[in-house]
Chain A
Amino acid sequence: MEYEISLATTMAISVLFALSLNLITGFCGQISLGHAAFLGVGAYASGMLAKAGVPFLLTLPLAMLLSGALGIVVGFASLRVRADFLAITTMGVGFLFVGIVRQQDALGGEMGISAIPDTGMSKLAFMLLAVAMAAAAGLLSTYVRRCWMGRVFAAIAEDEDTVRVMGIDVPRFKLTAFALGTALAGLAGGLYAQHLKFIAPDSFGFIESITVLSMVVVGGIGSVVGVSVSAAVLSVLPSWFQVIGDYKLLVYGGLLFLMMRFSPGGMAALVARIFHPDRWGSK
């Protein structure tokens, strides 16, 4: 039972993390190739605070705050650069995060932080907390898409210049997407640090950023259900099939490529195409 609980916790954290990126990339159309840095900010913040004696549950909002604040800073970059330039800038942010953390003795350098104090919760309670947070992120995403903010996000994703001539303050909406998405990533990071009790810079590098992007893309950019399912499945795939453990990255890479090559709308579009072949929305 312990193994299943741990697996479910991993799944929930991945779903939360993937949904956080989906807010930025899926809803608002701002590509990020460095999202794992914000998982890292949350993880380091929560881990360091817990080691300093701050109660676990209090470290989570603080992790969100710090991660969201840094997210707004990166969001400002998205106001300066666009599309391909933004992709490379966010990739740079990812490398910068890992590069800085690696050289800081205060953050454990290359070795990272270990022996993060216990949360005082049972494994089951912790899993339930993670699942509740993932569910809350799912509900929030669904709500956002149905409110006016979501409508503006969708329009920005398609053509931000036109949104601007509709009298909408595009920069503030973009910054909001970054703030929300990175704060949620920070929350996922806090849970991640407490779940594993050990974190190191390499857990938040480029590969992790691509992994979460692949979860979003495979699920279907912008689709809350699709992204949740694909994040849940992809996060535990390696543990379920021990055989593919060694080929994990080959499968990720291959899936990512094949999905884009044959169904750029991800699984959600694939499903839509099978069930509603004549609906105009499914390309």
Chain B
Amino acid sequence: MLYVELIAQGLIQGSIYALIALGLTLVYGLLRILHVAHAAFFTLGGYVGVMVANQTGSLAAAIVAAMIVAGIGGILVFRLCYQPILHQPPFVPLIASIGLYIAAEELFRIVFGPSGLTYKYAFLQGQVIAFGSLRFKEAEIAVMLGSAAIIGVLSLLQTRTRIGVACQATVSDPQMAESFGISLRKVGDINFFVGSALAAFAGVMVSVLNNMVEPTMGSVPSYKALAIIVLGGLGSVRGTLVAALVLGVVESFGTIYLGHFLDRNAIAFAFLILVLMWRPQGLFARS
């Protein structure tokens, strides 16, 4: 039963990672940028979520508001921060992005205070019993179902709509797509909007799960998400999803069996380094 529980916990954590990492993959596929500042939208989502929920009492309103605000923020970051430096060597946008993230985290701390905010209402805090005797929080179930639903809808949009197909084409070969008249800028806007909105959704769900938001809540997921997209082969959406779930499970087992020797982050990165030494292009390299 312990195994089942560890796998379940790993999958819950993994689906949160997946939501965050998907945005990073969309951005990387399009611009070849490691968008570290992406995690700021996870945090932003949490803050907007708490504030809207506390004002309106509605979690749905909080989720929608968080996703829209973060989505627009994502477009602004794309246009103002990345677009002007795309022609520079890759470390330039990478370091710019790290700088942006650090500054953003500090802004959250300065504006909202270091100790964070909590929910006035209890959302999804009930217990659900599944698989015999395993207990889950409603919020945990919601995270899993929510991310599965969102990712499902996204993949439908991606294959069934014109704009979705255009985005997909651009991500797999930006130059080719541009020569077919697809606007890189428009696809960039969409990718940043969708990616940041997904991160914001994850931010709201995590804040509900922990009943709190704090300035640093994005830092660990941010670095983990980078590890995940690298594991997934950089730019491969399918690879990212699998890598996120695998990492979640590896961590939940690792903390039990290796916890006395390595902390949770070290387990994640030890796994990453081992995989990269074995397959330098990640688990699911695209050709």
Question: Nearest CB to that of B267 among chain A residues?
Answer: A99
Asked if A217 is at the interface of the complex by the 8 Å CB criterion, the answer is: yes
Q: Size range of the interface on A?
A: 35 or more
B112 to chain A, nearest CB (A): 14
Majority-rule SS of B interface residues = helix
Binding site for B on A (CB under 8 A): 25, 31, 33, 77, 80-85, 87-89, 91-93, 95-96, 98-100, 102-103, 206-207, 210, 213-214, 217, 247, 249-250, 252-261, 264
The residue from B85, B259, B280 contacting A85, defined by CB atoms under 8 A apart: B280
- CB of B270 within 8 A of chain A? yes
Given contacts A206-B223, A264-B85, contact A88 B34 (CB under 8 A): yes
Structural contact, B110 and A84, CB atoms closer than 8 A: no
- Stretch of B149-157, B183-191, B226-234, B242-250 contacting A (4+ beta carbons < 8 Å): B226-234
B106:A80 contact, CB within 8 angstroms: no
Q: Please, how many angstroms separate the alpha-carbon atoms of A92 and B234 in the complex?
A: 16
Q: Does B91 contact A (CB under 8 A)?
A: yes
Q: Which residue of B lies closest to A264 (CB)?
A: B92
Residues of the B chain whose Cβ atoms lie less than 8 Å from the Cβ of A85: 230, 234, 276, 280-282
Please classify the interface of chain A as helix (H, G, I), strand (E, B), loop, or mixed, using the class held by over half of its residues. helix
Complex interface: stretch among B3-11, B95-103, B161-169, B197-205: B95-103
Contacts of A261 in B (CB 8 A): 81, 84-85, 96
Task: From known contacts A103-B263, A261-B84, infer whether A253 and B100 are also in contact, taking CB-CB under 8 Å.
Answer: yes
Q: Is the CB of B34 within 8 A of A257?
A: no
Task: Please indicate the chain A residues that have their CB under 8 angstroms from the CB of B110 in the complex.
Answer: 247, 250
- Taking the closest CB of chain B, its distance from the CB of A86, in whole angstroms, is 9
Chain B residue at minimum C-beta to C-beta distance from A248: B106
- Known interface pairs A92-B269, A92-B272, A103-B261; A260-B92 also in contact (CB < 8 Å): yes
Q: List 18 A-B contacts (CB under 8 A).
A: A25-B91, A85-B230, A85-B276, A87-B34, A89-B230, A92-B269, A95-B266, A95-B268, A99-B263, A99-B269, A103-B261, A103-B262, A249-B103, A252-B102, A255-B99, A257-B103, A261-B85, A264-B92
